[in-house]
Amino acid sequence: MPDTSPAGRVLLVEGHKTLARLLRETLAVSPGLVVTAEVNTAHDALAAAAANELDLVIIDLHLPDASGLEVASSLQDAGCRAKVILLIEEDDVRYHQAAWQCGAAACVGKERVAGGLTRVVHQVLTA
């Protein structure tokens, strides 16, 4: 049976160290995914995206220096071809709509990171 696991270079943009560690550990068990950079501010996210070839950027909605929505929009404006998943606090349709308007491919509630992130990553990378 052929391996259908997603392959991708991932940038993690998360302001909280504990959640960043959980994200990294969750992605580490998914074959083919490599966290190429991990940052905690919007400024550093834009610099890391410019410096690395990426397939996926996972961004926290609430960063210390800007909104994750702003980062997603800036990435799109800069011509970044990586797909974006936005991490949100609560599953509110307004966040989903705003995320799609900023170019994000999906939203994941932070409470679902451990159980649902890899499924969403797979869907986004294979779409």
Structural contact between residues 50 and 78, judged by C-beta atoms closer than 8 angstroms: yes
Which class for 28: exposed (0-12), middle (13-18), buried (19 or more C-beta within 10 A)?
exposed
pLDDT at 4: 52
The CATH-assigned architecture of domain 8-126 is 3-Layer(aba) Sandwich (3.40)
Q: What is the spatial distance between Cα 13 and Cα 39, in angstroms, rounded to a whole number? A: 5
HSE at residue 44, side-chain half, CA atoms within 13 A, is 14
In this predicted structure, what is the pLDDT of residue 14?
A: 96
- The Cα 37–Cα 75 span in angstroms is 15
Determine if the pTM surpasses 0.85.
yes
Q: Tens digit of pLDDT per residue, the chain (127 long)?
A: 444 555 799 999 999 999 999 999 989 888 889 999 999 999 999 999 999 999 999 999 999 999 999 999 999 999 999 999 999 987 777 888 888 898 899 998 888 787 788 889 999 999 8
